[in-house]
Amino acid sequence: MGSRHIPVLVEEVMTFLRCEPGHTYVDATLGGGGHASEILRRSAPDGVLIGMEWDGDALSEARDTLMPFGDRVKILRENFIHLSDLVKAESVDGILLDLGLSSIQLEKGERGFSFRGEGPLDMRMDERTNESAADLVNHLSLEELEYILYHYGEERWAKRIARAIVQEREREPIGTTQTLRKIIYRAIPRRFHSRRIDPATRTFQALRIRVNDELENLRKILEAGWKVLRKGGRMCVISFHSLEDRMVKETFRRLEREGEIRVLTKKPVTPSEEERRGNPRSRSAKLRCAERI
């Protein structure tokens, strides 16, 4: 247990953010504080970092990691959708969004994010709010479940899995990650079980996105985040699946057409071969960056 979260695309992000002394940066997804400490190192001696994080476990790890930087760091336990209410307009030089989960969350079985470990079917990143994944699988209608699995998981077996969930919960409420995994395994015909990705991957992704409202949150910050940036300030977004990357790409393009921003990455930046080898989690990472004009 407890290997640290390895930040992805660090050099690439730092190049786009052009960290400088005296500047202010927002890390809207602080996680373990990996990217944040690099931003602080490169903007020494007086660059400021505002960190946002809604997960209590990640937050305490970030506090420890960032302690040496003293009062150059301000940490807010908040959903990043509130960024433009909490930070003064046009006061920031760069924003980083590194979406998805940190290893801190994935590796704790009791958080229920991973289909590999046993744990309660929870998946809430902010433990203070929202319904858990168990609430969803036990209470949503068949149609809603199918919709979520199809749209947020791009799961072609959405209908069969949703039906199996509803059947199973009539016997007994579904409470754990392994119970759900077994239901998924039985629902997808054996010959379609992929060796490359676990049959439970898409369903777990879909539930996590819905539990945490991830796409809606991303949509909101991609619209409102610019307000806190000075002209010339930059926003970097790292995403880990196609639904997010598509939303970033399309929103950036539209805002560019509307004359608000300039896109700096015509194609997404992806990790080097070396990084992919050293950190398998980095393989699906895509970075896009744009500048406020």
Residues of this chain that interact with ligand SAM (CB under 6 A) are: 5, 7, 29, 31-35, 52-55, 58, 79-80, 98, 100-102, 125, 217
Instruction: State in angstroms the smallest separation of the CB of 128 from ligand SAM.
Output: 12
Quote the Cα angle for 285-290-293, to 5°. Answer: 170
Instruction: State in angstroms the smallest separation of the CB of 197 from ligand SAM.
Output: 19
Q: Return the number of the residue (183 or 238) whose C-beta is nearest ligand SAM.
A: 238
Instruction: State in angstroms the smallest separation of the CB of 292 from ligand SAM.
Output: 21
Q: Return the number of the residue (102 or 132) whose C-beta is nearest ligand SAM.
A: 102
Q: Return the number of the residue (138 or 251) whose C-beta is nearest ligand SAM.
A: 251
Instruction: State in angstroms the smallest separation of the CB of 189 from ligand SAM.
Output: 34
SS3 140: coil
Which residue's C-beta sits nearest to ligand SAM? 31
What residue has token string 């990705």? Answer: 197
Whole-number Å distance between alpha carbons of 53 and 38? 17
Q: How far is CA 187 from CA 122, 180, 190, 201, in A?
A: 21, 11, 9, 14
Instruction: State in angstroms the smallest separation of the CB of 279 from ligand SAM.
Output: 11
> In this structure, how many other beta carbons lie within 10 angstroms of the beta carbon of residue 10?
15
Q: Return the number of the residue (31 or 233) whose C-beta is nearest ligand SAM.
A: 31
How many angstroms from the chain centroid is the CA of residue 36?
A: 16
Whole-number Å distance between alpha carbons of 181 and 290? 39
Whole-number Å distance between alpha carbons of 26 and 218? 15
Whole-number Å distance between alpha carbons of 45 and 22? 8
Q: Return the number of the residue (101 or 161) whose C-beta is nearest ligand SAM.
A: 101
* Contact yes or no for 105/204 (Cβ under 8 A): no
How many angstroms from the chain centroid is the CA of residue 283?
A: 15
Q: Return the number of the residue (60 or 167) whose C-beta is nearest ligand SAM.
A: 60
Instruction: State in angstroms the smallest separation of the CB of 109 from ligand SAM.
Output: 17
